[in-house]
């Protein structure tokens, strides 16, 4: 296949590029580098089947030649990132998604939208099934991300009704190598703090839950959705639910850190529970996660140790390699 991946130099996008190349596909990676990094795909650029196109999808996409699939992963996903650039986030999810859909429609290509469990908001239904409409604050501090993704889903559904071969993946709490340590999400926060010997900051009492899916598992799910005509939406996540405090303690134990737990006030609209119902993914994609959380955390911590994180015991200031 010849596949266009928008946001392909980001955390998840770069792993998807890598997996598609590994199975023999040709990949065009489109990224404006707002949060993606050339370093994430530098090891791929020597392949004759890989092209990096530095482009903002808020502008129309012009790609020549055959296109078999378009996977739209372009979005700021870091809470500090999208909070700093709310209009950029909303226009990427709206105008950008439309441009990506237009590219797929023009080439009669399969289209896959990377949506998010954030469309469920602070859910009143647990675990979350795809037929749950969610509990989202449309003007709250997370609204620029949540509503961009909700609008993108509506846009994909509209194009599908008009004949575009399109599917939606709702992604739950993914983690793994290449995740930025400054992205403000729970796993990266805890890893950075534990490696640096700093207190692990837990918001609220730590009883809120998350379901962590390792990036290789998620990529398998995305590829399965690319390869099938399933419209969805389909939840892609790990149904193994953990409290935030459990995640903090497990991370600290794997790092071997003596960091203390520091409690802070719970931010507005922070989801209290999050766990996917993945029966649809099992039935329609034959997909389920296989990587245990502890194994995934070890791999993520090891990657950060080998890519420039200076630990507390070194006596140097902590930093993260680019």
- Residue 39 parent element (H or E): helix 38-41
Is 145 tagged catalytic? yes
Tokens standing for 41? 């795909």
Q: How far apart are CA 149 and CA 116, in angstroms?
A: 7
For the chain, give the number of residues.
Answer: 322
* CB atoms near residue 141 (< 10 Å): 15
Catalytic residue, chosen from 120, 145, 159, 175, is 145
Residues 292, 250: contact at Cβ < 8 Å?
Answer: no
Q: Which residue has the tokens 């130099």?
A: 9
- Residue 263 parent element (H or E): strand 261-264
320 DSSP 8-state letter: -
Q: How far apart are CA 278 and CA 288, in angstroms?
A: 8
Residues 51, 254: contact at Cβ < 8 Å?
Answer: no
Q: How far apart are CA 211 and CA 243, in angstroms?
A: 9
Backbone angles phi, psi at 315, to 5 degrees: 80, 10
Q: How far apart are CA 295 and CA 119, in angstroms?
A: 28
Backbone angles phi, psi at 177, to 5 degrees: -55, 150
* CB atoms near residue 139 (< 10 Å): 7
DSSP 56-106: -TTSPP---S---EEEE--S--SHHHHHH-HHHHHHIIIIIHHHHHHHHHH
Q: Which residues are catalytic?
A: 145
């Amino acid at each position: 296949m010849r596949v266009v991946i928008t946001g392909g130099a980001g955390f998840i996008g770069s792993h998807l590029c890598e997996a598609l190349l590994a199975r023999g596909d040709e990949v065009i990676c489109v990224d404006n580098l707002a949060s993606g990094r050339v370093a994430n795909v530098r090891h791929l650029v020597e392949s004759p089947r890989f092209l990096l196109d530095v482009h903002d999808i808020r502008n129309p996409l012009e790609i020549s030649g055959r296109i078999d699939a378009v996977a739209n992963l372009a979005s700021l996903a870091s809470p500090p990132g999208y909070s700093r650039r709310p209009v950029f986030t909303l226009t990427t999810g709206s105008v950008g998604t439309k441009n990506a859909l237009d590219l797929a429609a023009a080439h009669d290509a399969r289209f896959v939208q990377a949506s998010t469990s954030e469309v469920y908001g602070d859910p009143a239904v647990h675990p979350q099934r795809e037929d749950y409409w969610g509990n989202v604050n449309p003007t709250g501090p997370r609204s620029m991300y949540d509503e961009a993704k909700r609008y993108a889903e509506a846009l994909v559904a509209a194009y599908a009704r008009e004949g575009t071969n399109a599917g939606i993946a709702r992604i739950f709490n993914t983690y793994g190598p290449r995740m930025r340590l400054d992205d403000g999400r729970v796993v990266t926060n805890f890893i950075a703090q534990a490696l640096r010997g700093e207190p692990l900051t837990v918001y609220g009492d730590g009883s809120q839950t998350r379901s962590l899916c390792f990036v290789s598992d998620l990529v398998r799910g995305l590829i399965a959705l690319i390869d099938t005509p399933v419209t969805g939406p389909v939840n892609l996540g790990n149904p193994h639910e953990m409290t935030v405090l459990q995640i903090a303690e497990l991370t600290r134990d794997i790092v071997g850190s003596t960091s203390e737990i520091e409690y802070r006030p719970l931010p507005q609209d922070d989801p209290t529970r999050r766990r996917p119902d993945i029966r649809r993914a099992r039935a329609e994609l034959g997909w389920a996660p296989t990587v245990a959380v502890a194994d995934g955390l070890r791999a993520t911590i090891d990657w950060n140790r080998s890519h420039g994180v200076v630990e507390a015991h070194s006596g140097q200031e902590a930093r993260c390699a680019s």
